[in-house]
Structure 1
């Protein structure tokens, strides 16, 4: 039985479920607050809510929340009241340097990503997740099927990260370095698509809330994936060659000190008798001392 609102995630009350009219076609249930918000945008929902899925309701709320308000006509002649849109003040003297969040939002905008207002907190969290030199090359909204958490799937030039900003605080973060991904697959349905990442360990599966999102994500990162794989393979081969070329050092066999001292004494006598030169004596002495 559903105990939380499918849209906002807040616990359902007895008033929300009393009449049983807040249920969606995919089994989700809306609280009265979310239902009122949706029906204020689309009046048809009042009589036909059971035929709508959660994805359709989210699209209705999203599109309804970003529509511009129409100017309000008044009874006073020549007076027209309209919603003012604030614009940044520009001067000819200084230009403010964009911060990291502005850079991230700019990268997302350049990708024409179809993200909803429900992942605004995850987008802001990318400031703490990504390194300063990381650039977003792909992004999509969806669910990580391993833990059923909803958030954003992001790829930079080096890795893929799934980020979920939990409702009551905290962040869930799953990382997949490009060089560890052996292959990828994507497929699409009527309203959503799926992306699968295969690694040396378990595969990672994601349901993305747009029927073209998985293919777009796949196309954007596949070149980086294969480049990282080739670089990793080359580095391993170079490392193996270096290991082979390293000179193998034979460990010096240790001997009993008393035996070494006897041999040193004999060496000294051989030098005194002129049988060994000073250079030969020094060389042999060093070899004996190394065996101590």
Structure 2
């Protein structure tokens, strides 16, 4: 039976708090606020939450509080005018500027995901950090969700005006990416099941399936509703071919007219027709083409 209260702060869960992804090794479940609090202390805990018990989480928080307290005691108070010259911040280096741009883009993409209405778990923190490394500065995320691709683990699936991108990041391992350009996507379909629901993306090179767990059906359906508008546009009806020949009968008689011109030429060469008669009859037939 699913827990109704957070094991750490003991507050009652509110949807979508308390999912299976927030479960501890001893069976307790954390709310999203507590999980975020713990991840700010150690960003790797959400990836291995099933390895930690409630006592481990409590010790992590206590240790962090003690460390902060000791740091505050050791920091000397220095008056502004007594700061040494070498403590004045230097001009930003190229690496500083790159990090600044990365941080700015990360916050921008995070805000775009929130504006899209997507509700991501704390386990997607690693995937979120990878987005500035892959997406262009001018790309805008219009939809996002969590799902699997193939037999791999959970990852982050985002859609921009340029592509559909799946990002997967495990602890102490390189991130993996799977992308499909929008111009290569023919259509998308959403098949809901009690066990595993599938979002199938039809491309020029075949179908690409994305798998959703039962507790992800609501988010998956909302994601499909957004991207279906983009990828399932109605195909334009074929336009009827227009015949620009003002007189279709003339097209049918063209071969017959050319036959008469050949006969006129023979009569002219034999001297039966004069040059004036030949030219007059030739012009008459040519006007019929």
TM (norm. structure 1) is: 0.45
TM (norm. structure 2) is: 0.45
